[in-house]
Structure 1
């Protein structure tokens, strides 16, 4: 027996097509549903249950998939399938959970992490992440989207797990396998828009509103008539991943596009509900926001007028470090690249903190108050899916930068005061690109995406022929990690370096300290003209030489470290030449990095 329910407030009659197969308009006996108040309809079907295909018909129209479907085995245009989440035999009863604040995140895309591109195949690589020193595996979106391959940000069945990845039970297996190895799981979820194909939500109710505009067009309806159930669709859907799939954290995509003028913002509502669920399940649950606002209110408690997120991505950290080490100044990098910008972000998370942004041509952001906010509430990185994949050819920094510069960038972020994150393959300096790829079955949409991508980058000076065709299967295939790379040469050396950094972070309290604010225990000093800088972390000094000449770098003691003069070298990376420490001065070859502890 199964009770089918659906919200369709404008319908005068609703039927559920049970046992439907193939396209949702085909087959299946239709059962009339009863109005149950508030725009909801329901029907109890005795011979239905886990594995039963079904779809809904509004006012005699074509059968459509369930907006809250957990299982779309034939894709977003096919019938839904009943999924009983309670059937799975979990083995993680002793799992204590993990607080994402201060944890080391590892962002991966299921479809390119392995050649198979499935959740079950990804399980086979989890021991690599354990050995690396990761604490939380962050999955790019798994919500069902059209076609076989894609980034996942065109999801249209937001409660379902993309079937080519393995479907909902595969996600349960993946999370259970992670917990068995001591790894938490963060799931990237997208509620600010739906993809351009397979979105049937507008047929069911007022899921969108013209009251607000977003980069993707009309906004999700969070504050206009009918918003109550739309908000519930978002909040309940998010909580379901945490409850039924035992996920430990959610990364909420582009929350600045969740336009909500309600007295209680939907993020604050979600945070309060997640806190209640955390108490219920007896483990910490972490909400991480991707926000373009540079507003610390994002991580302030909802009961104090904040949005209640535990953490937010810190793009300014990426921009400052990337612009400094690469010299790039196009687009938003025009605001960054100075040593002062690196000092500001490493001690306060934001460069734009109530200051003027030439790129935005306006004052942007608010400062982080170090008496209220800690570094663990900000996720920092030198690469992520956006910063690599949204480049014209999807080239990683490792495609052009010397290994020592990559090692230096990694040391700044992994030993900094934030919650660090690695993008898959970054730990060995992967040379494979990560490109923008899609697999839209609709030929007109496919051509529009292809043309739009090439037009966008052609306007920035790229030859259109150099921009990979998103619809070409070879574009996805080129983006798959090469697991032979970390077994030898530079790949093996960089992997060993990342492991050493994470070992130091795990064992040294000074390198886990997340107190913000420029101080004798947290600072960045350097010589911009000479191309070197030093990150101060308590008694530790992270010295990075970005120049192509050897440099002698003083490890300034400052007022925060007492004791005899001298230092000991605890880690170093150089591909050409030797790192040498004399007293409190380290000699770094070109493009090299050293981590030292002052005595």
Structure 2
């Protein structure tokens, strides 16, 4: 036990009825540590910790909280589970990942780890190679996105607890699917958070939008760093996860000589090597900073990959015309500081055109703002990622943030038509980056994914409601914000897979399956494949991505047909997929060639076509 804020620590043991049996004093060691060996206590026993004769508190490193965030902890034997994945070593590199992000509670009607197992085979058949599970650390109540977790080591009892998570990981490996676990080290949820009673876990030197900043560089920070770094290794060693996605690392503040994240990535990579497995670390970062994915030996943070949201923003603005909030940076791409000061008015068509220009930039390099002026931030922002392999960047057209942080949790399928959804899918899957899908997007799920919690503190509930309303003010979204505490908000967010068998959902899913199959068999389309060249005409709304001499993808993001020239090669280009094909719910106007040698193609509105090099 690390409890430097306490003089005395006792272990309280409980019987099977939940009644306290006895208290056992722990022996003080150095630097705020306490320890005790209690014979006869077996897996399944419940216990709590008593600091200086006060209330009984859960263990900060509890492996299981069967009675919730406020209840006692339960002893778990991590060696008792019978794994069957001894032959599984993980995916070799980030380029092998096709990620499917899911929220356990709304992925199935039952909302459990075990219920998710039944859908692994269909995900593998779709072409998914990794599932990314939103945070599972024990949170208050039965409904939560997971970012209010307070017990970092305890898989949520609402989802089935620790062995149920092990069963899901083991089953995923049996299907050839890696498991990415979303972890949160930038803050701790407000309800059930007793950490400060134990030690200096938090600091007031920095501010985060989600709660008090974690103390990674102040007095007593060594124990805090250990708590988090050991947690990252714990998921790898005891649960066999293949990758960790670290939430919002721009909210992790450490101005010491060696950043806690560099220490964490080195520690996890060293553990993976000792276990003979391949484990990857993925960061979410709002900094557009290439140092995130540079090796620690080159003074980087050592992540294997990071989310690159700029492609999402550019696609979203180009297809929807939305320009509020941070979308302004893509609706006004190329504007200057003077333009911002004068609040220059732009039409929706102009916003879309600028967004296409931003998309061309995002397809060339992951950071659109790479040292240029960003209107929404009113400052020069970001740095160039030139020279960093494309497999270091994860892109999407939808994710939990971009859907759930809208006032009504609108998915793309409710904002645009089928043609635009297919176009967005093609852009992501043919981007040359690591693609990520959000659960249900592959068949055009129309149910929302809304923000939900089940806090028991009335003041906290009020604060959450008001905070959501304030957050949406800059986007000027209309209508009443769904109540995060209402169980109906959670129920509305559960997937409705029954629509997959009906048009147009079945046709959209066929497109995802075919695109992923082509991508799997054509090495040039992988992030570690051939070199990528990007061209386009933002004014006319078309973009072309050429993968060496092997493949060429063309996209029309406009509402009018466009003639797009194809690159000159020896031989000819052969059309192998069009999003306008009848099989995908289109009109079937595919591969209409233009020019004297058929060296251009006429694209229908909001259409993508993929060509392969034909040597014959």
* Class of the TM-score when normalised by the shorter of the 2 chains: over 0.9
Counterpart of 2:590 (choices 580, 583, 591) is: 580
Gap change, CA 1:147 and 1:21, over 3 Å in 2: farther
Question: Take 1:473 and 1:87, find their aligned partners in 2: how far apart are those partners?
Answer: 36
Partner residue of 1:481? 495
Partner of 2:342: none
In structure 2, distance between residues paired with 1:513 and 1:448: 43
Give the superposition deviation at 1:272: 1.2
- Counterpart position of 1:3: none
How many residues of Structure 1 are paired with residues of Structure 2 in the alignment? 580
Q: Find the residue that maps to 2:466 and give its secondary structure.
A: helix
Q: TM-score, normalised by structure 1?
A: 0.94
| Cα deviation, residue 415, structure 1 | 1.6
- Name 1:348's counterpart in structure 2: 365
Summarize the alignment of residues 255-404 of structure 1 with structure 2, pairs less than 5 Å apart. 255-337=249-331, 338=354, 339-370=356-387, 373-404=388-419
Find the aligned partners of 1:223 and 1:441 in 2 and give their Cα distance: 33
The equivalences for 1:83-482 within 5 A come to 83-102=76-95, 103-337=97-331, 338=354, 339-370=356-387, 373-458=388-473, 460-463=475-478, 466-482=480-496
Q: Counterpart of 2:559?
A: 548
1:536 and 2:536 aligned? no
1:259-312 CA distance string (max 9 Å, x none): 001111011101111121111111111010111111111111112211011111
Higher mean alpha-carbon deviation, 124-133 vs 408-417, is at: 408-417
Q: Aligned to 1:484, what secondary structure does the other structure show?
A: helix
Structure 2: how far apart are the matches of 1:216 and 1:431? Answer: 29
Select between 205-214 and 191-200 the one with higher mean Cα deviation: 205-214
Aligned to 1:32: 25
Long gaps (5+) in structure 2 = 332-353
Partner of 1:571: 577
Q: Deviations over 1:369-411 (max 9, x none)?
A: 22xx100001111111000000010001111212121111111
- Indicate if the aligned counterparts of 1:201 and 1:207 stay in contact, CA closer than 8 A: yes
Query: 1:299 touches 1:309 (CA, 8 Å); kept in 2?
Result: yes
The CA deviation at 1:548 is 2.9
Which residue of structure 1 lines up, in the alignment, with residue 533 of structure 2? 523
- In structure 2, which of residues 498, 506, 513 is the aligned counterpart of residue 499 of structure 1? 513
SS at match of 1:587: strand
Corresponding residue of 1:70? 63
2:374, 2:469 → 1: CA distance? 28
**Stretches of structure 1 lacking an aligned partner (at least 5 in a row):** 1-5
Distance 2:255 2:529 in 1: 33
State the alpha-carbon separation in 1 of the partners of residues 519 and 474 from structure 2: 43
Indicate conservation of the 8 Å contact 2:357/2:538, yes or no: no
Distance 1:70 1:431 in 2: 36
Q: Is the 8 A contact 2:294 2:303 kept in 1?
A: yes
Q: Post-superposition shift, 1:591?
A: 2.6
Q: 1:132 to 1:215 in 2, by over 3 A?
A: same
Q: Could you tell me how far apart the structure 2 residues matched to 1:425 and 1:409 are?
A: 14
In 1, are the aligned partners of 2:138 and 2:151 still within 8 Å (CA)? yes
CA distance, structure 1, for counterparts of residue 10 and residue 199 of structure 2? 16
Q: CA deviation at 1:323?
A: 1.5
Say whether the 8 Å CA contact 2:11–2:23 is kept in structure 1: yes
Q: Following the alignment from structure 2 to structure 1, what is the Cα–Cα distance between the partners of residues 377 and 16?
A: 51
Q: Distance in 1 between matches of 2:76 and 2:31?
A: 25
More displaced stretch, 207-216 vs 314-323: 207-216
Per the alignment, do residues 378 and 513 of structure 1 end up closer, same or farther by CA in structure 2, a change over 3 Å counting? Answer: closer
What is the CA deviation profile of residues 307-326 of structure 1, one whole-angstrom value per residue up to 9, with x for unaligned ones? Answer: 01111110112112221222
SS of 2:44's equivalent? coil
Conserved 8 A contact 1:65-1:77 = yes
| C-alpha distance in 1 between matches for 2:185 and 2:289 | 20
Judging changes above 3 Å, is the alpha-carbon distance between structure 1 residues 523 and 330 closer, same or farther for their aligned structure 2 residues? Answer: farther
Q: Which moved more, 1:36-45 or 1:56-65?
A: 36-45
- Per-residue deviation, 1:20: 5.9
Deviation at 1:362, TM superposition (A): 0.9
Distance in 1 (CA, whole Å) between partners of 2:305 and 2:527 is: 16
CA distance in 2, matches of 1:68, 1:276: 22
Deviation at 1:340, TM superposition (A): 2.5
User: Hey, what does 2:49 align to over in structure 1?
Assistant: 56
SS at match of 1:404: helix
Contact 1:534 1:542 in 2 (8 A): yes
Deviations 1:539-562 (A, max 9, x none): 3222222333333332233xxxx3
CA distance in structure 1 between the aligned counterparts of 2:267 and 2:290, rounded to whole angstroms: 21
TM-score, structure 2 length as denominator? 0.91
How far apart, in 1, do the equivalents of 2:521 and 2:23 lie? Answer: 62
| Deviation for aligned residue 1:43 | 1.6
Greater alpha carbon shift after TM alignment, 397-406 vs 304-313: 397-406
Question: How far, CA to CA, are the matches of 1:576 and 1:168 in structure 2?
Answer: 46
RMSD: 1.7
* Cα-to-partner distance string for 1:186-207 (whole Å, 9 max, x where unaligned): 0000011011111000000111
Shift of 1:60: 0.2
The aligned counterpart of 1:17 is 12
For residues 585 and 381 of structure 1, the distance between their equivalents in structure 2, rounded to whole angstroms, comes to 28
Deviations 1:176-220 (A, max 9, x none): 000000000000000110111110000001111122222234321
- 1:135/1:395 CA distance change after superposition, 3 Å: same
Distance in 2 of aligned mates of 1:452 and 1:273: 37
